[in-house]
Amino acid sequence: MIAPVTIGLLLFTVGPMLTSLWLSFTDYDVVSSPRFVGGANYHYLLTADPSFWVSVKVTALYALGSVPLGLFAALAVAMLLNLDIPFRGAFRTLYYLPTLLPATVSGVLWAWIFQPTDGALNRLLAEAGVHGPAWTQSPSWALPALILMSVWGYGGAMVIFLAGLQESPRFLHEAAALDGAGTWRRFWIVTWPALTPTVFFNLTMGLIGAMKAFDQAFAFGQSNGAGVGGPARATLFYVLNLYTKAFEHFHMGLASAMAWLLFAVIGAITFLNFRLSKRWVYDEATA
């Protein structure tokens, strides 16, 4: 029963992982055989390639910008919906709609909204008398534009938060209220601890997702004609950089090295996240 899975695992995961590790130490352009070069790829990436650290910075900024903002927005909306307002179910569904869009469509839609001369955002700003920046063509504003787009799509996290909030036992809230605790104290003592597992889950998934982001950056870049990584590499996400190196210039060795570095970082951050979680995540067991 698990024969297909085992084959798939070996063929498409374990095997390729080991092969790509080997490839990261070679110079390989697919046309000729791989040529062993030791750590030269890693050396080039880490010390001489201008695009590498830029893409790390861009991705880090993207993750640090979009994940906390997105989680905050998702939590805020979830808390609003958790109150007994009417049409709650409908609201939940409607707020979730943006998540249905694939990242490519989001990228294209927001490239249109952020279009410097004809886009909706700058036209709106013009009505208010503000001369909006050249968003998709501006090195300083292209990434914030993508971050805003990402926050818009945090409906998934919102739904999970809402479920988490609704699991929060009612009687604890009432007990705290009876004890005279105000709204904020009730939040910190009762709601937050029960929420921490979901926050942790959303945080982990959000960070990993941000570090692997590709579709929206690619679509954004294709839509605004300023080159693949955006103006002055402003939206050159790490995976976009990897794709360009691998499938536009066929530097397979470099790309494999980039992939492994990414894996190492994701692994490290996830591990750190798990470790730190013991400090602030309330388990049923430890509560």
Partner 1 sequence: MRPRLLPALLVTLVGLAACLAPLAWMLSTSLKPFDELLKGGLSLLPKAPRPANFGDALRNFDFLRAFGNSAFVATLTVLGTLASSIPAGYAFARLKARGTSWVFFGLLTTLMLPGQITIIPVFRLFASLGMVDTYAPLVLPAWLGTNAFAIFLLRQFFRTLPEETMEAARLDGASEGLILTRIAVPLARPAVVTVAVFAFLGSWNDLWGPLVYLHRQETMTLPVALVNFVGGSATVQGTPWNLVMAAAVATVLPAVAVFALCQKSFVSGIANTGLK
Partner 2 sequence: MRRAFLFLTLLLVGCSRERPVDPLGRHTVIWLYPIDVGSQPMTEELVKQFERENSDVHIDVRAVPGSQYQTKLKTLVAAGEPPDVFVCGDVFFAYLKPFLSDLTDLAKRDGKEIDLADFYPAVQKAMTPDGRIYFMPQWFNVSLLYYNRRLFDTAHEPYPTASWTWNDYAAAAKRLTKGGVWGSTVTTGWWGEWLTLVHGAGGDLFDPAITHSTLDTPQAIQGLTFYRDTIREGFAPPPGEGPPTGFASDQVAMDYGGHVGLWATYRQIPSLDWEIEALPKGPSGRRGGEISLNALGIAKASPEREAAWRFLKFMSSKESVRAHVDRGYVAIRRSVAAERRDMGKAPRNRAAVERALESAEPIPSSKDFVEIALDLVQPEIDRMLTENVPPEEAAKAATKAADAFLKATSGGAR
- Region 63-122 residues binding partner 1, contact defined as CB under 8 A: 77, 80-81, 83-86, 91-98, 100-105, 108-113, 115, 118, 120
DSSP state string for 99-112: GGS-HHHHHHHHHH
Q: Which is nearer to partner 1, 74 or 143 (CB)?
A: 74
Q: Which is nearer to partner 1, 232 or 266 (CB)?
A: 266
Which of 135, 218, 238, 260 lies at the binding interface for partner 2 (CB under 8 A)? 135
Nearest alpha-carbon partner for 224 in 139, 123, 284: 139
Q: Does 227 bind partner 1 (CB under 8 A)?
A: no
E strands within 216-260? none
Q: How many residues sit in the footprint of partner 1 (CB under 8 A)?
A: 90
Pick the piece of the chain touching partner 1 (CB under 8 A) from 137-145, 187-195, 201-209, 272-280.
201-209
Q: Does 2 bind partner 2 (CB under 8 A)?
A: no
In the list partner 1, partner 2, none, the entry touching 51 (Cβ below 5 to 8 angstroms by class) is partner 2
CB atoms under 10 Å from CB of 101, counted, come to 17
Going by C-beta distance under 8 Å and a sequence separation of 6 or more, which residues neighbour residue 54?
233, 236
Q: Which two tokens stand for residue 281?
A: 């995540």
Q: Does 250 bind partner 2 (CB under 8 A)?
A: yes
Q: What CA dihedral angle connects 134, 139, 141 and 144, to 10 degrees? A: 150
Which of 89, 248, 284, 286 lies at the binding interface for partner 2 (CB under 8 A)? 248
| For helices 192-211 and 252-280, angle between their N-to-C axes, nearest 10 degrees | 170
In the list partner 1, partner 2, none, the entry touching 175 (Cβ below 5 to 8 angstroms by class) is none
Cβ–Cβ under 8 Å, residues 155 and 98: yes
CB atoms under 10 Å from CB of 20, counted, come to 17
Which of 84, 85, 90, 117 lies at the binding interface for partner 2 (CB under 8 A)? 117
Binding residues for partner 2 restricted to 29-58, rule: CB under 8 A: 29-31, 37-38, 40-41, 43-45, 48-51, 54
Q: Does 173 bind partner 1 (CB under 8 A)?
A: no
Q: Does 202 bind partner 2 (CB under 8 A)?
A: no
| For helices 215-224 and 142-152, angle between their N-to-C axes, nearest 10 degrees | 130
Amino acid at 53: W
Phi, psi dihedral angles at 214 (to 5 degrees)? -145, -55
In the list partner 1, partner 2, none, the entry touching 69 (Cβ below 5 to 8 angstroms by class) is none
What does DSSP say about strands 35-36 and 26-27: parallel, antiparallel, or unpaired?
antiparallel
Which of 198, 210, 230, 236 lies at the binding interface for partner 1 (CB under 8 A)? 198
Amino acid at 194: A
Pick the piece of the chain touching partner 1 (CB under 8 A) from 40-48, 58-66, 162-170, 278-286.
162-170
Going by C-beta distance under 8 Å and a sequence separation of 6 or more, which residues neighbour residue 227?
221
Binding residues for partner 2 restricted to 61-90, rule: CB under 8 A: none
Residues lying near partner 2 in the complex (CB under 8 A): 1, 3-4, 27, 29-31, 37-38, 40-41, 43-45, 48-51, 54, 115-118, 134-140, 222, 225-227, 229, 231-233, 244, 247-251, 253-254
